[in-house]
Amino acid sequence: VADGAEMMFRTALAAGVDVCFANPGTTEMAMVAALDRVPGIRPVLGLFEGVCSGACHGYARVADRPALGLYHLGPGYVNALANLHNARRSFTPVVNLVGDQASWHLPYDAPLSSDTTKLATWVGWHRHVNSASRLASDTAAAIHAATDGAGGPATLVIPADTTWDDAPPEIPEVGFGSRRTVPADRVMEAAAALRSGDSALIVGGPLVTAEMAADMARIAAATGCRPLRYRAATNELGLGRHFIPDIPYFPEAAARATAGVRTAVLLTEGEPVTFFGYPDIPSTTLPADCRRLQLAGVADDIARCLSDLADAVGAGPATPPPAPDPLPAATGPLDIMSLGRVLAAEMPENAVLVQDGITSAAGFLTMTDRAAPFRMIQAMGGAIGAGLPTALGAAIAAPDRRVMCLQSDGSAMYTIQALWSMAREGVDVTVIMANNHRYNILQMELHRAGIDQPGPNALALTELSNPDLDFCSLARGMGVPASRATTAEELTEAVARANATPGPTLVEAIL
Ligand SMILES: Cc1ncc(C[n+]2csc(CCOP(=O)(O)OP(=O)(O)O)c2C)c(N)n1
Ligand SMILES: [Mg+2]
């Protein structure tokens, strides 16, 4: 006879969910044992739960189906939450299996007990499993919930007895959810609005493909609208693809990007807002008197809606974008521009780039159209510590592609142990560690707040020095070969070598 845990994994496998990023404990032992009876599921150990949840995010952003995250009661799940928040904000399907005390042990209030079900409410759909006979159907419900509409994390709280008790051997019906189709009359209304002059077409959501960018360019050519991206979690970019600018991060730049827009047609999550509130600056970035037309949201099929919209405005056939000027080779000391040039020049064809460079990515982001075609993943939730785990998950999902990871130093240290999982799994990842020895963005924010000469305490909380972090030693200590570059020539050489070497390599770029 099967137990609940075995039927849980068999159900996941029946849906094509076959990777489990895990950090287990005693309450999950029946699950751990069941993985040897359901060998189709690949277990990947993460040495911190935030590694597992970030890896689930990266995996789904490439594989287009969820992975399982396996966690140990409330404390383990809480450790996973920041990257689950990033997954939710990126509309990424993830299925969380959170072990809990055996139901009859809970009243004794043992040390690891907490209100796990209450914690599970934080990032979306959640269910407490009541019996072993329900575990498989609850798993099917979680898989559907994670993939339906907008997509996002779905969490099962699983008392240990429901995993080890006998369960009926039937696999329930299980499958993925779907997105909605935007009705034709709404598309016609938006087409008219785009033609009204001074209009903008703002697109985002889980994935903006090269075809979607081409449709945006066609619609812009037909209507004169301004095409912009907003909250696009994954983007297909690079040579031969239309360069559609993002609405910038800082509010002044964001307001400039949308200045003069009188009609905005939105196919994304809500209207553009600033990341934070600042005194005397509006929270929304569109002009106050601009008409907003929400054509599609993230629960809709945005790709289909865009192509319907292109038809509705009578757009011409897709044309290739104008060829950009060739990039001059980067030379001399590293800065964010030369770092960007090296990355653009060394991007392997069809790579996946996990972009978590924070301020060090600013150069590269102006020249994405010079790189060989690639897919870029960025965590939309703003919780730092996403990059390395996301790269781990992306690489497990795409064993035939090189994963590049542009990673800033401060963010890296939240989940640095993802490097160990990369080494253990032997995944092909090139990490470019942009080491500027500081929380640079926070120093920029201090400057924005009018503090030009931060005091010693403000510096203590924003400098990553004394001691300096040695990322080459950290990487080697976790089984990842590493080297350091201080010039563009050194970085070019090291990245080219890393890209030609199977397995993970870290290149520390000193800025
Ligand atoms: C979970 C979480 N904690 C803290 C922050 C606040 N925060 C935003 S950026 C940042 C530092 C980023 O430094 P680094 O990764 O080195 O990038 P840099 O700014 O130097 O480019 C911090 C601490 C956050 N966004 N998320
Ligand atoms: Mg930094």
Residue 248 has pLDDT above 90, yes or no: yes
Beta partners for residue 127, in sequence order = 156
- Following DSSP, what letter does each residue of 22-89 receive, concatenated? E---GGGHHHHHHTTT-TTSEEEE-SSHHHHHHHHHHHHHHHSSPPEEEEEHHHHHHHHHHHHHHHHH
Asked if omega into 467 is within 30° of 0 (cis), the reply is yes
Atom of ligand 1 nearest to the CA of 441: 19
Q: What percent of the chain has pLDDT over 90?
A: 98
User: Cβ neighbours of residue 351 under 8 Å, at least 6 residues apart?
Assistant: 372, 374, 375, 401, 402, 403, 404
Beta partners for residue 406, in sequence order = 355, 432
- Model confidence band, residue 106 (pLDDT cutoffs 50, 70, 90): very high
- Token readout for 178 is 């779907």
What is the structure's pLDDT at 141? 98
Residue 253 carries which DSSP code? H
- Model confidence band, residue 379 (pLDDT cutoffs 50, 70, 90): confident
Q: Please choose from 78, 276, 358, 378 the residue to mutate so as to test ligand 1's pocket, defined by most ligand atoms within 8 A of CB.
A: 358
Q: Where are the alpha helices (DSSP H) in 331-386?
A: 336-346
Distance in Å, CA 93 to ligand 1 centroid? 25
Supply the pTM of this predicted model. Answer: 0.98
CA distances from 238 to 34, 455, 495 (A): 43, 42, 18
pLDDT, tens digit, 9 for 90 and up, residues 198-226? 999 999 999 999 999 999 999 999 999 99
- Model confidence band, residue 191 (pLDDT cutoffs 50, 70, 90): very high
Residue 247 has pLDDT above 90, yes or no: yes
Q: What percent of the chain has pLDDT over 70?
A: 100
What is the structure's pLDDT at 95? 98
Distance in Å, CA 353 to ligand 1 centroid? 19
What is the structure's pLDDT at 1? 87
Residue of 201, 251, 210, 209 whose CA lies nearest to 229: 201
Residue 472 has pLDDT above 90, yes or no: yes
Residue 463 has pLDDT above 90, yes or no: yes
Residue 441 has pLDDT above 90, yes or no: yes
> Residue 54: nearest ligand to its CA?
1
Mean pLDDT of the chain: 97
Distance CA 482, CA 470 (A): 11
The arithmetic mean of pLDDT across residues 310-328, rounded, is 94
pLDDT, tens digit, 9 for 90 and up, residues 334-356? 999 999 999 999 999 999 999 99
Atom 1 (ligand 1) nearest CA? 383
pLDDT, tens digit, 9 for 90 and up, residues 42-60? 999 999 999 999 999 999 9
Distance in Å, CA 414 to ligand 1 centroid? 10
Distance CA 347, CA 404 (A): 8
Distance in Å, CA 495 to ligand 1 centroid? 25
